[in-house]
Amino acid sequence: MFIANHTSMIDIMLMLVSVKSNPFVFVGKKELAKLPLFGFFYKRTCILVDRNDPKSRQGVFIRAQRRLQSGLSICIFPEGKVPEEHIVLDEFKDGAFRLAIKHRIPVVPFVFLDNKKRYSYTFFSGGPGLLRVKMNDLIETKDLEIEDTKALNAKSRAIILAGLKP
C-alpha cells in the first residue's frame, strides 16, 4: 500500500515515477474521470470511488482485493482530497489502513516535499524546479488487527508530517 501527502494534481505523476519496482493502481475520486483527456486514462487505470456513496466506498474494497490478488499494489492518498493551501497535512481517512491490515500488506509512506510549491491549485502560482520525494521505510501490518486501524493511520500520518517539517 503506497500512500503520500496529497498536494496537487502532479502527485499522481510523481508517484508513477517514484515507484518503479511494483505495478500499482490508484484509488481515486470518480469526479476526476470527467476531466478532458486525463479522465479518459484515469477511469481506465484507477479504482474509482464516489465518496458520497457508502455502497461505492464499500465496493472499493472488493475491487482493490481483486487487484491485490492479481499481484498489483494499491496507491491511496489518505487525505482523500487536496487540502486547502494553508493546511500542511490534513487528517487521514482510514480506508487505506483498513485495506492494508485486512490484506496483510505493508504501508509505504512517501513524502512529496515540493509539489504544493511547484504546482499548486491556486491559479498563477507555482513555478519550475525540482520535485523531491522521500520514500520512508515500510510499516508491516502482518501482526495487526482491524482494531489497530487508527494507530496505523496515526503512525503513518506522523511519519509523513515529520518529513514535511523543515
- Which structural domain range is residue 148 located in? 2-164
**Residue 7's pLDDT band (boundaries 50, 70, 90)?**
confident
Question: Is residue 77 pLDDT above 70, yes or no?
Answer: yes
State how many domains the chain has.
Answer: 1
Report the pLDDT value the prediction gives residue 123, as an integer from 0 to 100: 64
CATH classification of the domain holding 111: 3.40.1130.10
What pTM does this model have? 0.88
What pLDDT, in 10s, does the model give residues 113-140? 998 888 776 666 778 889 999 999 999 9
**Residue 144's pLDDT band (boundaries 50, 70, 90)?**
very high
Question: Is residue 3 pLDDT above 80, yes or no?
Answer: yes
Report the pLDDT value the prediction gives residue 115, as an integer from 0 to 100: 87
What pLDDT, in 10s, does the model give residues 149-163? 999 999 999 999 999
Interior/surface letters 39-53, b for 16+ CB within 10 angstroms, e for the rest:
eeebeeebbbbeeee
